[in-house]
Structure 1
Amino acid sequence: SWPAFQENPSILAYAYQSQKELPSPPGTLEENVRLISLKPRIWLIDDLLTPKECEFLRTYGGLRMQPAMVVQSSSNWYDQQSVTRNNEQVWLTPKEEQQVPLFRHILKRMHRMARHPDEMAESLQIG
């Protein structure tokens, strides 16, 4: 039922293991975070994701990628978009984010690094 993972089912097993068992990559260490610019504020975080996490994200999102749409106005993000950008992406659903331990693990790390509360974050985009 997971055709995208047929070539490497171990990466799927990795994503569904207990969140407690998932390692934290070096990117969570302070010495791997560099301030690039103050205006605009830009931080570079080396190794925020592990190679296995990247492989899982590419495989999981790969079959569902769609042309990325341009938001029509800042006051309304949810109307049907008509203009596309030059990339592809897929938005995860809240259900997907909750059901896959690896997604929870990645999102928790991202929110902590950004100092952004979970409940105020948008869904994860792969693209």
Structure 2
Amino acid sequence: MGTNNSRCTTTEYIAELNKVLASHTQLGVHFVLNLALYLEGPHDISDVIQVLNKQSYSVHYFVLVHNYKDDRKITGEMQAELQRMIGRGSMHTVDMLVKNSSIRMEQRSAEVTEIIGDILNKSVFYPL
């Protein structure tokens, strides 16, 4: 998918997500979705999470707590709400402060890469 839910409405995002999911039903794939954690309004991710909860994929949600450009962050309450919505899947929280620091951003990227590597190493692939 070439977009995230902050650039289109939830309805538009789900339509695109369903196309991607349908084209990979018989494949052993991993893919990454970039979701902005909106909990209300036209970009609310609740319906997206419901779609993902219905899939047979192993879903891992990464919460990158701190914003790079400013002081915005994903609050504990927002994380709890996301955890509540996740019917199946795992949530991974990366709470590294990265504001305007390319070194800290690289460190956070390395942490996320390590977590993804651990997930992939534990994955079981079945022949089609």
Query: Which TM class, normalised by the smaller chain length?
Result: under 0.3
Report the TM-score, using the length of structure 1 for normalisation: 0.25
Report the TM-score, using the length of structure 2 for normalisation: 0.25
**RCO comparison, higher one (Cα < 8 Å, 6+):** 1
Give 1 or 2 for the bigger CA radius of gyration. 1
Instruction: Identify, as 1 or 2, the structure richer in strand.
Output: 1
